[in-house]
A and B are shown apart, each in its own frame.
Chain A
């Protein structure tokens, strides 16, 4: 390196040779402090002090904000409509652009050789999910579809058609899966959950309003028929004008075709198991009733 790094630099050198700083030596930079305008003093500011001539204006008795002199005011004339009704109970899906996904893969924060899950995205600090604030997961957004060039197996909660097309064009797989709030919290922060010593819960199925979304092959829902999904892949390729690469001949086909069971939260771990991180062991239930419950 051909320089020396000095915090403070030249200013600090000058300061060390000057006399001690005190209130007598300090002054604000000229132009930063503008003199305050005093109301009602002086030849042109005096007299009525900027209040006008008589009436409610000068006497300070004007009516409330929104009053229109007796005419039905705007805020009462317009009828109510529940635009924002229940806004705090609506499901929110944090957007994930393909731009951001490409950035994460390029910088090595997310590994494309393993199936990309919400846990992997959170571990790579790609998205921030707050399950307690009505976040139901992540939605894949098509911005950056032009530059996206990575073959990935990704599982999100919602995906736009353009995003699905961009991923499949590069030879990847997209699945949309539902996580109820408790499962989502477990998925986003698995380590505190394992430390708490509870058995892995089984993922609940979506509510009535979301079942049509997740059973639709066009959305690559996890509850949809695999044959219909294959047909939808071909149809999307025709719509967007690219040749659908045959992933069954890919060397990573096993990884690309991995999807989770509808009741499973983590890859490789099934509901009902207890993970002991201190001793690196996994405990599994043997009672019939428990097994029946967890496999239902």
Chain B
């Protein structure tokens, strides 16, 4: 096996610590004084401020390395609609209660969804429909299948 050119030269570590011992023209006795190139250094402070809104994800061709697929630009016309969550994910969640009770929750459903659920699972599963909060709770874990299917829409 070939070894890549061993980089004998030291990697140049740029230490960004410009400790400035400059005494500005301020009277002695003043502990703090003025500013040197305020805008350049203030950009470092601006980078530290947390964003207040969820950023829009960058464009990927197809699925990203993690496996996330962006929502399709033009949603296909179906009698129902399932929007993405605030973090741009598919709103399918699994729960495990009492150690062995598996449930899948699909949320943000709008419209008429009954036909596909039958096609997808092949049988009538115990479900709970909550029309006010627009959720359907199904017994069993179907998250991978549901997510793959919803991502294609």
Chain A residues within 8 Å of B, Cβ to Cβ = 1-3, 5, 7-12, 99, 102-103, 106-109, 114, 119, 122-123, 147-150, 190-191, 194, 226-227, 229-230, 234, 237-238, 241, 243-248, 254, 257-261, 263-264, 266-270, 274-275, 277, 280-287, 290-291, 294-295
Whole-angstrom CA separation of A247 from B60 in the bound complex: 25
Residues of A within 8 A of B48 (CB): 119, 123, 190-191, 266
Query: B9: which A residues are within 8 A, CB to CB?
Result: 248
Q: Is the CB of B41 within 8 A of A282?
A: yes
A-B contact pairs, 6 of them (CB 8 A): A102-B65, A119-B48, A257-B13, A269-B41, A280-B42, A286-B23
Q: Closest A-chain residue to B33, C-beta based?
A: A286
Q: Mark B32-50, 1 if CB is under 8 A from A, else 0.
A: 1111101001111101111
CA distance A11 to B32 in the complex (A): 69
For B122, what are the chain A residues with a Cβ–Cβ distance below 8 Å? none
Distance of A268 from chain B, by nearest CB (Å): 3
Shortest CB distance B135–A (Å): 12
**Complex Cα–Cα for A260 and B44 (A):** 13
- Inside 8 A of A241's CB, which chain B residues have their CB? 1
Q: Is the CB of A283 within 8 A of B42?
A: no
Q: What number of B residues sit within 8 Å (CB to CB) of A?
A: 66
Shortest beta-carbon distance from B62 to chain A in Å: 12
Contacts of A9 in B (CB 8 A): 131
A266-B44 contact, Cβ under 8 Å, with A257-B12, A286-B30, A286-B31? yes
Q: Does B99 contact A (CB under 8 A)?
A: no
* Partner pick for B31 among A11, A148, A226, A285, CB 8 A cutoff: A285
Say whether B32 contacts A285, CB under 8 Å. yes
CB pair B17 A103 closer than 8 Å: no
Neighbouring A residues of B30 by C-beta, 8 Å: 286
A246–chain B nearest beta-carbon distance, Å: 6
B16 touches A247 (CB 8 A): no
Contact (Cβ within 8 A) A261 B15 = yes
